[in-house]
Structure formats: C-alpha cells, structure tokens
Structure 1
Amino acid sequence: MKLSILGGGGFRTPHVYQALLRDRGAPRVEEVALHDIDETRLRTMVAILTELAEGRPDAPVIRPTLELETAVEGSDFVFAALRVGGLDGRCRDEHVALGHGVLGQETTGPGGLAYALRTVPVMTRAARTIKKLAPDAYVMNFTNPAGIITEAMQTVLGDRVLGICDTPSGLGRRVARLMRLDPARLRMDYVGLNHLGWLRGLLYDGRDVLPELLADDALLGELEEGRIFGADWIRTLGSIPNEYLYYYYFNRDAVHAIREAGATRGEQLRTSQTDFYRNASAHGPEGGLAGLWRSTVERRSASYMAEARSDGGSTTGAAVSGDEGYAGVALGVMAAISRDERQTMILNVRNNGTVQGLPDDCVVEVPTLVDASGVHPLTTDRPDLHQLGLMAQVKDVERHVIAAALDGSRQQAVAAFALHPLVDSVTVARSLADGYLGASQVQD
C-alpha cells in the first residue's frame, strides 16, 4: 500500500513512520510519499526516517517530493498534517487576538478561526487533487483546526475524510491506568466537537466506573484534568471536560496567563524549531538526527499548554507518541479499513444523526466503529443543554468561517468572530476580521 503524508517535513512524521516500522500485519504500507513545500525540512525528515529504518530491509520506501500531485497519485491513504503560514502565521494569529484582549490559540477561539481562514482553501484544493489522483484513498486529517478542516474537505471527498485527535483517547488511557483497568475493556461515552467535548461515562465490562472516579478526591487529584479544572467543577459538570475546555471555563485566566508569559506558544515553538533545523543542518552524515528530534519533541511536549495556565503547570495531552498517540490512532484506522480489523475509536466524522440537535452533515467527535466498509459513528445519548448549546454555537461559528474562507466574504468572517463565545463584542469581531484579512485573503 502507498501512504502519502502532506506536510511530511513536520514533527509528527517520525511518529507515523515508527508506527509503520512496528506494524507486522498484511497488507502493510510499503511506500511512503513525503510532501512538503520546504526542501530543507523535507531533507531533514528523510534523514531522520532513514536513520530510524537502519537495519530494517522491510522498511517502507521513502519518496520525498515537492509536488503534491506526485505524492498523492495512487495513494491508498493520505495523512494531512499541514501548517499553512508556518509558525510565523501562528504567532501573528496569537498576537492579533491578544492585542484585542481575547484568546490567541491555534485551534480554539479567534486564533483558531484565523488559522482556519487561510488553511481551508489550501486543504480543499488538496482534496480536489486527491479526488482526481487517488479517488479511493481515505484521508486522515491531522491539520488544525481539525474539525473545521475535516468538514471543509468533506465537501469535496465526503465520508472518506476523517479527523484524528488523540486528546479524547489519551484521556481514556490515562483514566484506565489511574484506576488500574485494562484499557482494551474500557468503552468511552464521549461527545463533542474537536477540542470541545466531554467524557460522560466509562463503561468497564458494561459497568460505568466514572462515578467512582468523580467521587474519589485522591484519584481526581492525580488526573491531569482534575488539576486543570478542579474536582468541584468536574463534579458540577458530572463529566470530565476535554482539556481545551479550559479556554472556555477559565477564559480570563488563560488570556491573562498567556499575556503575562512573555512568549506565546507559537513563539516558543518557533524558537525550538529554528534551533532544531539549525542544529540538524550542522550534523554530518554519521547520523544522530533521530536523537535530536526525540529530545526536541520531549521539550516541546513538556511545556504543552503551560503558557495558558495560571498555576504554571503543563498538560500531558500532546506528549504521548508512538502506538498510543496520533500515529497509533491513524495506524488503527488503516488496519481496520485495509484488513477489516474492526476497531472503535473516537474520531472526527460526519454526524449523520449521531448527535441530536446538530446538522447531519456537520463533523462531530464521537466514538466510531471503523471496518473495511468505512467509518460508522456510534449511537450516543443526547448531550445535556449546556453541552449541546456550546456545541451548536461553536458549530455555527465553524460554518461561518468555512464560508468566509471559501467565498471570500468579510461579512461571514465577521459573523464567525462575533458569534464565537470567546469574543464578547461585534466591534472586537470587526477588528479581528480586519487584522486577519491580509493573511487569509478574505475580501468584502
């Protein structure tokens, strides 16, 4: 099978390749096409992957290319992990928002909408290329904001596009370990949108163990979400929120902390990435790049979300890699589809009536059965009023921003910012739209 990775010069690529090296099933991926527009990044990643594959004659062949069409043509699966505008764009997104006193974050709030404005057109063009050159391929979207990008790509490719985020499944794994339960026997009752969801139940051999966790101060104190949100607030909700809901429930705290941090997350990553590629270019042919990559990833993960938390802590959501992270979820999807190894995982998929109260054609993040016939979201109980209300409001915002990105409408862009629950003024929304127009090319 052929796998193409769009954004192949990015930091996730070695995780994916390591998962492929560990895979012993059949059929398996034999060719990996790496596409990137940055030749230096691409060359560095090829060197890392070559080092990881050393001594493995069965390792998938690596084919780097600067041409999207060459990468995509004949692919069985496509991973999309682009950062349109690079980290300079992310830093700009953060500072425009923070300059107006609202959240500057790449997936949540106005910063995420700005990222979507310039990313949606690029990803829909990529979708059209995939439809032409690899019409039977399944697309696994990692590109943020994952829910918005997945929904936009589905307008071209339909249900063959699904979004992957490891945050919900990572929460389930951590809870299982904390409660000394076998993760394979645990079923999560989870509902939401990408980076906006709630764990409402944990079925272990058919018995819901979530109430036991919520009643135990010691266990909640060991759980990252317990430290982020506090046991009292989690008990008030009666569910465990996705860690990104910190930006909603503690918005003022988060904005204040980011403004006081001295450097935004984008600026931190830009510094570490610049250092990485500078150090990588100084390495000789003797190798060692894989070790440099690992140490850089560990440092990045150790500070995840730290800039937004008033307590100075960081979270573990993005730190998991290998078979337990994004790459593991993606490999599970590929195995389920290509080998009919049926699996249930939490994915971003078309709603199709799964979440009552939301449009059938919108993308939601819910438990999903994957098999050789595709992806099938599982029936779920209706969200409570708070959950449904927040999901509906944010989904409406997402649809406005997709329309703005595809149609070039400033009116739609203003509506997206103004209707977002983390923007408290139409005046601010207009200023945000004006501040982002240059990068997104949205016009009146």
Structure 2
Amino acid sequence: MKKQRLVVAGSGSTYTMGMMMSLIEEKDRFPLKEIVFYDIDEQRQERNAKATEILLKERYPELESFSYTTDKAKAFEGADFVFVQIRTGGLAMREQDEQIALRHGVVGQETCGPGGMAYGIRSIKDMIQLVKDIRKYSGDAWILNYTNPAAIVAVALEREFPNDQKLLNICDMPIAIMISYAKLLEVNVWELVPEYFGLNHFGWFTKIYDKEGNDHTERLKNLIIETGFTPEDTEIANDVSWQKTFEQARKMLIDFPEFLPNTYLQYYLYPNQMVEKEDPDHTRARQVIDGRQKRVHDTCDKIIEEGTAENADLHVDIHGVFMVRAAESLAYNLAERFIVIVKNNGIIPNLPKEAMVEVPSLLTSQGPKPFAVGEIPLFYKGLIEGQLAYEQLVVDSYFEKSRQKLIQALTLNRTVVNVDKAKAVVDDMLEANKGYWPEFK
C-alpha cells in the first residue's frame, strides 16, 4: 500500500488538530510518509504546527516527515493529496457578515443568505489561485476541498477548472447528521447507506438503509418525531446552537414529512424565526471565537508548554474522519459510498445539467461515480432551482464584477427576498469587504 504525501492547506484552522487525530486513527487504512502544513498566516499556523509535531512524535512515530511552511513550492511539490480548508478574512470577517445581515433583519449565518454570499465572493479568488498554485507544482495531486461556502465555491471552481478530474468539493454535514441517525438506530454510522439529493447545505435524505439492505427510513422518522433529534458528533454535541439546530430539524420533518432534511434548511424554511433568535452582539461567529477557537488554541498552547499531548483533550471528529476516509477510497480504489458535490449531467434529470449537486457517489481512483437520483418532486425542484439560481448569480457577479447580479442573487434567496433589503445589504457588504472583493460595477 503506497504511503502518501499529504498537504493541509489552511493548516491554521481550528479543525486541524481534529484532522490530525483522524489521520492517526486511520493510519493503517491511509498510511502517510509525510505531512506538510501550508498557510499564509504564519503565526496562526505555527501554534497548530508546534502542537502537531509533538502529537505526531508520540502517536505517529512511523511518519517519516512533518513540516510547516508558507512557501508554495515547498508545500505542493510532489503532493499526492491536498486537503483544503481556507477561510479568507478569518472569523473576524465572518462575524461582520453575520452582523450586517442581522442589522437589516435577515438571516446572519456563515454559508446561507447574505453571509454565504459575502464569504463566497471572498473565497472564490483565493480558491482559484490556490488550485493554480497546487497544479503548478503537482499536476496529479488529489485536491479535496472543504472550503465554505462549498456550493458557491464548487460552481466557481467548475467554471474555472472544468477539466480538472482530481478536484473534489466535499462537506461533512450529511455524515454529521447521519451520526445522529446512527445513534437513534443503535448502529455504527458507517453501516448506514444513504440516498440523498440536493445542493450543498440544501438537501434531503430520501432513504436510509443498512448494508444488508434493510430500510430504516420510516422508523427513523418516527424516532425523530417521538423522541427528538440531537447532535452526536463530538465537535458539536455540547454546542447549544447546534442542539437548537437539530431540534429545528424535527420541526422541518413534521412540516414536510416526505424526506429527512439537512439541518441548514432551517434558514430557508423559517428565516424570520432564525433572525428573531439571533443576537447581533453575540453572533454564531462570536460563539466560535470564544468557544471552539479558544479551546483549540488553549489546547495547543498546553501541549507546547508541557512538551507532550498526553494530557490534552483531543479527539477524532467527523470533519477529519470523513475527509480521510474519502481520500482512502480515492487513493486505493475502494469505491466506497460518500455524499459529495458533482456536476449534475443528468443525475437529477429535471434540474439543469450544469448544476453542482450533492449526491451519493462511489469514490474510485478515477474519481467519483455518482448514483442516478431520477426526477425529484415539484416542491423540492422549485426550492432547489431558486437556490441554484442564487448561487450561479453570485458566481456570475464575481466574474462579471456586477453589483446588479448581487442584488438579483439576494432577491432570489429565501432568506432575503425583499429587493430594498437586498440593495441595502449589498451596499453594506461592498463597503465592508473592500480589499477582499473585486471592484464591482
């Protein structure tokens, strides 16, 4: 089994330590000879890197090399895999996105509505440049992209790199939801076989089987309605905001019982309720800054100070395991089933061919092999087409530098709808994102 050279781009992320624990957990299935950290933020990267170096010496002694750098050539030359998790503007810009939206009485969230638009336009430029940099030094590396908002980023990257067969956009939200399904069904999450359709953060599970072919869908629906629904992944299980989000998934199922919803649909189906429960002075971004970011930074500082990770509160999380297991399947042609983002091309015949849809696929050494979904019911088709048009208009606005298309995009988005609010939000976002966004006409 070939040992891989892995690069983590955006290694200053608060998710990096969890990813390292996942690589340690999966080292027999995805063996590595080298791990390289790459980030443009040298100081933020260094904290994670120094703690990781100690962790790997203790728990991954067979790893031949670990290094960290801000030099593109050193990072990407000879890479087999690049895991990408960048955040242009950092959490500070995320907080500003959320506050601007809430100030105008619309959903303030990272990937949905105006926040998703702002973050998306910031991400596109850096993601395109990053892919070009990787391809300059490693034309054959697998690029697995976690960068949000994945839907908008996927549309932009497909336009810029239509022939790149080793660039895959993925999201861990479906598998994070499935962990909660598995808990209710009292099975291992990797024993579940999902059927699913939609766009990223905008989809539905139609069936949940196990590997023996037993259909657990109706039982699962009844359990959620009767006993409730809670997050189970270690990274979000004790997070009050995520607990409320999973509670809302129960309401969505009661209101629309045909399919099991992705939790992010709450922002589109109940936008007014989502605005009412948010505090502009204590946004979700601020909760992450004061919560997960502080916890991860304190943990890294403790590891560095003590010179050991033995007493550190580190754990494997689904964010890392999902990425690593997807890489395993691609590297060793395992053809295992994952929900990933691919070009539609008839997978859902009554949606446009160019749509970037999120569906189950077998991941092989030749790339994803998606399963056909078939035509979807009118209600879901209508919702998806509106969201798809919003995403495509956001990407159009970036390439065409068009303020008008930003306004059109937010007018279509179910979290805004109102034209005057769309104009006001766009103007505030243009001002706040100077230096990050291109100059719009």
TM-score w.r.t. length of structure 1:
0.86
- Report what 1:52 is aligned to: 55
- Report what 1:255 is aligned to: 275
The 5 Å alignment of 1:98-109 reads 98-109=102-113
- Report what 2:259 is aligned to: 239
Classify the secondary structure of the residue corresponding to 1:208: coil
Cα shift at 1:347: 1.1
Query: 1:218 and 1:387, CA in 2 relative to 1: closer, same or farther beyond 3 A?
Result: closer
Query: 1:118 and 1:349, CA in 2 relative to 1: closer, same or farther beyond 3 A?
Result: same
- Structure 1 residue 269 and structure 2 residue 271: aligned? no
Which of 149, 173, 176 aligns to 1:170? It is 176
- Structure 1 residue 325 and structure 2 residue 328: aligned? no
Cα shift at 1:285: 4.2
Contact 2:252/2:266, CA 8 A, preserved across alignment: no
The 5 Å alignment of 1:395-414 reads 395-414=388-407
- Structure 1 residue 97 and structure 2 residue 77: aligned? no
- Report what 1:20 is aligned to: 23
Classify the secondary structure of the residue corresponding to 1:62: strand
Cα shift at 1:274: 5.8
Classify the secondary structure of the residue corresponding to 1:230: helix
- Report what 2:36 is aligned to: 33
Contact 2:347/2:370, CA 8 A, preserved across alignment: yes
- The whole-number CA distance in structure 1 between the counterparts of 2:387 and 2:252 is 25
RMSD (Å) for aligned C-alpha atoms: 2.6
- Structure 1 residue 427 and structure 2 residue 420: aligned? yes
- Report what 1:189 is aligned to: 195
- The whole-number CA distance in structure 2 between the counterparts of 1:270 and 1:217 is 31
- The whole-number CA distance in structure 2 between the counterparts of 1:9 and 1:232 is 36
Amino acid at match of 1:443: F
Amino acid at match of 1:71: A
- Report what 1:315 is aligned to: none
Classify the secondary structure of the residue corresponding to 1:2: strand
Contact 1:220/1:226, CA 8 A, preserved across alignment: no
Contact 2:150/2:200, CA 8 A, preserved across alignment: yes
Cα shift at 1:212: 2.2
Contact 1:51/1:290, CA 8 A, preserved across alignment: no
Contact 2:410/2:417, CA 8 A, preserved across alignment: no
- The whole-number CA distance in structure 2 between the counterparts of 1:25 and 1:280 is 25
Contact 1:172/1:183, CA 8 A, preserved across alignment: yes
- Structure 1 residue 221 and structure 2 residue 214: aligned? no
- The whole-number CA distance in structure 2 between the counterparts of 1:19 and 1:207 is 29
1:239-269 residue CA offsets vs partner (Å, 9 max, x unmatched): 211111111222111111113x740011222
- The whole-number CA distance in structure 1 between the counterparts of 2:27 and 2:379 is 45
- Which is worse superposed, 347-356 or 99-108? 347-356
- Report what 1:122 is aligned to: 126
Classify the secondary structure of the residue corresponding to 2:57: coil
Query: 1:289 and 1:104, CA in 2 relative to 1: closer, same or farther beyond 3 A?
Result: farther
Contact 1:77/1:139, CA 8 A, preserved across alignment: yes
Which of 347, 361, 366 aligns to 1:368? It is 361
Classify the secondary structure of the residue corresponding to 1:30: strand
Amino acid at match of 2:326: V
Contact 2:38/2:70, CA 8 A, preserved across alignment: yes
- Report what 1:355 is aligned to: 348
Contact 2:23/2:324, CA 8 A, preserved across alignment: yes
- The whole-number CA distance in structure 1 between the counterparts of 2:278 and 2:105 is 11
Contact 1:168/1:242, CA 8 A, preserved across alignment: yes
Amino acid at match of 2:24: L
Classify the secondary structure of the residue corresponding to 1:347: strand
Classify the secondary structure of the residue corresponding to 1:421: coil
Query: 1:291 and 1:426, CA in 2 relative to 1: closer, same or farther beyond 3 A?
Result: farther
- Structure 1 residue 211 and structure 2 residue 218: aligned? yes
Query: 1:278 and 1:214, CA in 2 relative to 1: closer, same or farther beyond 3 A?
Result: closer
- Structure 1 residue 391 and structure 2 residue 384: aligned? yes
Classify the secondary structure of the residue corresponding to 2:228: helix
- Structure 1 residue 134 and structure 2 residue 131: aligned? no
The 5 Å alignment of 1:71-86 reads 71-86=75-90
Contact 1:102/1:255, CA 8 A, preserved across alignment: yes
Classify the secondary structure of the residue corresponding to 1:51: helix
Tell which has more relative contact order, 1 or 2 (C-alpha 8 A, sep 6+).
Answer: 2
Contact 2:194/2:208, CA 8 A, preserved across alignment: yes
Contact 1:48/1:290, CA 8 A, preserved across alignment: no
- The whole-number CA distance in structure 1 between the counterparts of 2:397 and 2:229 is 43
- The whole-number CA distance in structure 1 between the counterparts of 2:192 and 2:423 is 46
Cα shift at 1:219: 5.1
Classify the secondary structure of the residue corresponding to 1:59: coil
- Which is worse superposed, 78-87 or 424-433? 424-433
Amino acid at match of 2:283: T
TM-score w.r.t. length of structure 2:
0.86
- The whole-number CA distance in structure 1 between the counterparts of 2:402 and 2:274 is 30
Which of 191, 195, 204 aligns to 1:198? It is 204
Size of the aligned set, in residue pairs, is 416
- The whole-number CA distance in structure 2 between the counterparts of 1:232 and 1:279 is 37
Which of 318, 333, 358 aligns to 1:340? It is 333
- Report what 1:63 is aligned to: 67
- Report what 1:300 is aligned to: none
Contact 1:358/1:392, CA 8 A, preserved across alignment: yes
- The whole-number CA distance in structure 2 between the counterparts of 1:293 and 1:27 is 24
Amino acid at match of 2:430: L
Amino-acid identity (%):
28
Contact 1:4/1:34, CA 8 A, preserved across alignment: yes
| Structure 2, unaligned runs of 5 or more | 232-244
Amino acid at match of 1:400: L
- The whole-number CA distance in structure 2 between the counterparts of 1:113 and 1:366 is 23
